Amino acid sequence: MEQDQDQEHEVISMPRIGDAAPEFKAVTTQGEINFPADYKGSWVILFSHPADFTPVCTSEFMTFAAMEEKFAEANCKLVGLSIDGLYSHIAWLRTIKEKIEYKGMKNIEVNFPLIEDITMEVAKKYGMIQPNEDSTKAVRAVFFIDPKGIIRTIIYYPLSLGRNFDELYRVIIALQAADEFDVATPADWRPGDDVIVGPAGSCGTAKDRMEDSDIDCKDWFFCTKKLDKETVLDRVLRKK
Ligand code: BEZ
């Protein structure tokens, strides 16, 4: 049985968190890009969608495009991909702008690049084709890549499930807050919530933690501290 599956599907390679983002050159709706070199110094979200002219993807593109400026303020650029061709991409984006209204959004212009990947070269490099879901469409993959070109978060959704773009924004802010303030962020964290102080690596540190009045330790391994919203947003949004 295992052997049958191996014979049916080629082995899928997927980059992992902490890996350098695989390099590629591609044609997009905004001209050619050399990835990730062209994005050095910025955060970038590289995301795939199954197909142009499909409803879930349309709702996603409108939502992402409406939030593009908000991501730009957090020094984050957006790059989309599907295995459709360039002319299909152009026609779809024109249709979105001219005809589609969704949740009060209309006349939406998608200004971020949308990669044409008819050969599936990029999609395969990033493990966006998951044959047991669909062998001719990319799933909804989201790669968060930092200004040094390192993959920092990966989220995958199936074809039927539209992404939550507030969550994608929360991730970009949380990753940057963790870097800037050398902290971790707990469940459901949002700017203004307390943050987690990293684990104590020695008995001495554990003891100091318990006695530090700026840190609230419920036990030596579970310590939080205040980090106010303005401080987080000033630092993250100022880096644009
Ligand atoms: C959609 O975006 O609506 C969609 C695309 C592929 C399969 C299912 C839904």
CATH number of the domain that residue 105 is part of: 3.40.30.10
Q: Whose C-alpha lies nearest to ligand 1, atom 1?
A: 56
How far from each other are the two terminal CA atoms of the chain, in whole angstroms?
A: 52
What local confidence, expressed as pLDDT, does residue 211 receive? 86
What local confidence, expressed as pLDDT, does residue 8 receive? 59
Same domain for 224 and 150? no
* 175 domain-assigned: no
* 145 domain-assigned: yes
Q: How far apart are CA 51 and CA 57, in angstroms?
A: 7
What local confidence, expressed as pLDDT, does residue 240 receive? 52
> Residues near 234 by Cβ (< 8 Å), separated by ≥ 6?
none
Same domain for 28 and 126? yes
Q: How far apart are CA 52 and CA 167, in angstroms?
A: 23
Same domain for 158 and 71? yes
What local confidence, expressed as pLDDT, does residue 239 receive? 62
* 1 domain-assigned: no
Same domain for 99 and 188? no
What local confidence, expressed as pLDDT, does residue 238 receive? 75
Is there an atom of ligand 1 within 6 Å of 54 CB?
Answer: yes
* 223 domain-assigned: yes
> Residues near 34 by Cβ (< 8 Å), separated by ≥ 6?
23, 25
Domain of residue 137 covers 19-163
Over residues 148-205, the pLDDT tens digits come to 999 999 999 999 999 999 999 999 999 999 999 999 999 999 999 999 998 778 888 8
Please count the structural domains in the chain.
2
Residue 58 CA, closest ligand 1 atom number: 2
Same domain for 32 and 145? yes
Same domain for 191 and 150? no
What local confidence, expressed as pLDDT, does residue 1 receive? 47
At CB < 8 A and 24+ separation, what contacts does 173-178 make?
A: 173/74, 173/232, 173/233, 173/236, 175/43, 175/144, 175/146, 176/43, 176/74, 176/75, 176/235, 176/236, 176/239, 177/227, 177/232, 177/235, 177/236
Residue type, 160: S
* 231 domain-assigned: yes
pLDDT by position in tens, the chain (length 240) = 454 555 556 677 899 999 999 999 999 999 999 999 999 999 999 999 999 999 999 999 999 999 999 999 999 999 999 999 999 999 999 999 999 999 999 999 999 999 999 999 999 999 999 999 999 999 999 999 999 999 999 999 999 999 999 999 999 999 999 999 999 999 999 999 999 998 778 888 888 888 889 999 999 899 999 999 999 999 988 765
The residue from 57, 76, 203, 217 that is catalytic is 57
Last residue of one domain, picked from the residues 128, 163, 198: 163
Same domain for 145 and 41? yes
* 6 domain-assigned: no
Is there an atom of ligand 1 within 6 Å of 160 CB?
Answer: yes
Q: How far apart are CA 236 and CA 239, in angstroms?
A: 6
Same domain for 140 and 194? no
Same domain for 192 and 227? yes
Q: How far apart are CA 155 and CA 168, in angstroms?
A: 9
Same domain for 73 and 110? yes
Q: Does residue 57 have an active-site annotation?
A: yes
Same domain for 76 and 135? yes
pTM for the model stands at: 0.93
* 8 domain-assigned: no
Residue type, 180: E
User: β-pairing, 151-157 with 195-196?
Assistant: unpaired
Last residue of one domain, picked from the residues 163, 194, 212: 163
CATH code of the domain containing 213: 3.30.1020.10
Residue 60 CA, closest ligand 1 atom number: 2
* 36 domain-assigned: yes
Same domain for 147 and 193? no
Last residue of one domain, picked from the residues 107, 129, 163: 163
